[in-house]
Amino acid sequence: MKIQTTVLTTLALVAGLAVTTVSFAQFAKTEDAIKYRQSALTVMGTHFGRLAGMARGAIPYDAAKAQESARIAATVGHLPWEGFVANSFAAPAKVKGDIGANMADFKALQEKAEAELDKLPGAAGNLDSLKAQVGATGGACKNCHDKYRQTN
């Protein structure tokens, strides 16, 4: 048992993972929560950006690629939110306003965005339906960004 723990600890160290006991929190440090949510939003945004590019004609429409990006955007779109933990809204967070004091409003906007992201895979197989759904999903993202995202 001891050997196995040592091996796993070594692997975790090599993998660059925090080896401190995380106790029962999802994130050991506030910075980890911020980095996690920003990373998930980057992955999601990359794939949503490809769909938006196809929708506006900047990227040639390809049904298979659109469906793949839609699937990834929808899947990863459920992840960022657990990173919005208490006391994680000051720098280096890129937050406007006080999400902590408006969590119910934030959560409603988040859930609307998740619901619209979930509709992307069903819409991506056809350029017209993709355009419509990119508009609806982008609008749901924008509703939250307008209130809570620091623009720079």
Nearest approach in angstroms of CB 7 to a second copy is 6
Show the CA angle centred on residue 59, arms to residues 94 and 132, nearest 5°: 75
**What is the per-residue DSSP string for 5-67?**
HHHHHHHHHHTT---S--TT-S-SSHHHHHHHHHHHHHHHHHHHHHHHHHHTTSS---HHHHH
CB 98 within 8 A of CB 89: yes
Nearest approach in angstroms of CB 105 to a second copy is 18
Q: Compare residues 99 and 131 and give the one whose CB is closer to a second copy.
A: 131
Site residues (CB under 8 A) for a second copy? 4-5, 7-9, 11-12, 14-19, 21-24, 26, 32, 35-36, 38-40, 42-43, 45-46, 48-50, 52-53, 55-60, 72, 75-76, 79, 131, 134-135, 138-139, 141-142, 145-146, 149, 151
Nearest approach in angstroms of CB 91 to a second copy is 17
Residue type, 103: M
Q: By C-alpha distance, which of 54, 46, 48 is closest to 70?
A: 48
Tell me 101's DSSP state.
Answer: G
Q: Compare residues 104 and 128 and give the one whose CB is closer to a second copy.
A: 128
Q: Compare residues 33 and 104 and give the one whose CB is closer to a second copy.
A: 33
Nearest approach in angstroms of CB 151 to a second copy is 8
Q: Compare residues 2 and 104 and give the one whose CB is closer to a second copy.
A: 2
Q: Compare residues 60 and 87 and give the one whose CB is closer to a second copy.
A: 60
Whose tokens are 């070594």? That residue is: 10
